[in-house]
Amino acid sequence: MNTAQILITEREAPILASQGHSNTIAQLCRELAALHFEHHAEALVTSALEREELESTYVGRGLAVPHARVEGLPQAAVYIARCETAIGWPDAAADTIILLAVPAEQPELYLQLLSKVMRWRMKGLSTAELRNMLA
């Protein structure tokens, strides 16, 4: 996987816990779009929230990995956010949220990114080490 093809961004300020998981997902999608995909903001929000309705993206151990697959997205992106206080998800509460945005035309890339994120979390590595794993 080449990081030139994957944008990796870490949110500088912690997410506030009061807004709930759906609003948090929408906020992160809009922030990611403002940084890299201005014309895809609402498509990112819609895709991520529709996916969340199918099944919770809380994966355990305080981690949620919402994701959006958007047609015409120019490249994949990983947006890492920490929470001030854990945010309630339907299954539990997440203190770390990693938003994945992937071109719909590349479903295998989504699976590769998710696999790397899960291995990162299981090993308890730092964000810098996650960046290296995605390289």
Domain boundaries, the chain: 6-134
pLDDT at 84 over 50: yes
Q: Global pTM?
A: 0.91
d(CA 135, CA 22): 29
pLDDT value at position 1? 54
Mean pLDDT, all residues of the chain: 90
Query: 87-132, pLDDT tens digit by residue?
Result: 999 889 999 999 999 999 998 998 999 999 999 988 888 888 888 8
pLDDT score at 129: 87
Alpha-carbon gap, residue 52 to 8, rounded angstroms: 22
CATH code of the domain occupying 6-134: 3.40.930.10
